[in-house]
Amino acid sequence: MLATPDAATLGLFALAALLLLVTPGPAVLYIVARSLEQGRRAGLVSMLGVHVGTLVHVAAAAIGVSAVLAASATAFAVVKYVGAAYLIYLGVRRIRDRRSVLATELAPAAPLRRAFLDGVVVNVLNPKTALFFLAFLPQFVDVGRGAIGAQILALGVVFVLLGLMTDGAYALMAGTAAQWLRAQPRFLVSERWISGGMYIGLGIASVMSPSSRK
């Protein structure tokens, strides 16, 4: 059984993860593009591929953060503060990005197997995704409970499960409403302000909260 933070921290993590997941980001752009071009099945298969890639990043974060903690308590604190700064940076950059979900280039038609593999590759080979998990997951780790790597894995699994629900909903909605969405090119322009604000708020909250190290 995976070690987890306490119930309150886990609940806060789930809420923060949901707020981030429901606002469109790079993974949602890919999933929606597939759904608009090839329909709901392709969108759902792409979503599964994306989250297989997410698990790779979660495992890498668990190994990396555990190694940092073993090396130095100060280094762990640096990881947390650098991670918080990176989250704020993501928020500012997202607000400045004027592209909407519908402005992305649609994926070409491809077999479902290709859609799945593309989803895995798109996520695994995105260094920004790796940096995001290194920044996000340690903010909810309780060092006093030990098993840091196991805690990060548990948080990552929770994130993926929530992501399967939210991204699956995007795939279904985009595939179903493809024709209507194509006629509303400005429908999701405001999402950059919402998602950017979420990243900035999480980064600021991380900096202001007391350290979890005991």
Any idea which of 23-32, 103-112, 154-163, 179-188 has the lowest mean pLDDT?
103-112
Rounded average pLDDT over 40-64: 89
Determine the pLDDT at residue 147: 77
Determine the pLDDT at residue 110: 58
44, pLDDT greater than 60: yes
Which carries the bigger pLDDT value, residue 98 or residue 10? 10
Domain spans of the chain? Answer: 7-17+26-208
Determine the pLDDT at residue 211: 46
> Tokens 């919402």 label which residue?
194
Give yes or no for a contact between 33 and 104, defined as CB atoms under 8 angstroms apart. yes
Residue 76: pLDDT band by 50, 70, 90 thresholds?
Answer: low
Question: Looking at this protein, which amino acid is placed at residue 149?
Answer: G
Rounded average pLDDT over 166-184: 78
Determine the pLDDT at residue 107: 42
Q: What is the Cα–Cα distance from 161 to 39, expressed in whole angstroms?
A: 22
Go through the chain and tell me how many residues it has.
214
Which carries the bigger pLDDT value, residue 122 or residue 119? 119
Determine the pLDDT at residue 79: 65
Residue 187: pLDDT band by 50, 70, 90 thresholds?
Answer: low
Determine the pLDDT at residue 69: 56
Residue 195: pLDDT band by 50, 70, 90 thresholds?
Answer: low
Helix axes 40-71, 112-124, angle to 10 degrees: 30
Determine the pLDDT at residue 141: 81
Determine the pLDDT at residue 212: 41
Q: What is the Cα–Cα distance from 100 to 179, expressed in whole angstroms?
A: 17
Would you give the distance in Å from CA 52 to the centre of its chain? 12
Q: What is the Cα–Cα distance from 136 to 61, expressed in whole angstroms?
A: 10
Taking CA atoms, 12 is separated from 5, 55, 67, 112, 213, in Å, by 10, 21, 25, 36, 18
106, pLDDT greater than 50: no
The pTM of the full predicted model, rounded to 2 decimals, is 0.69
3-state helix, strand, coil in the chain (%, to 5): 80, 0, 20
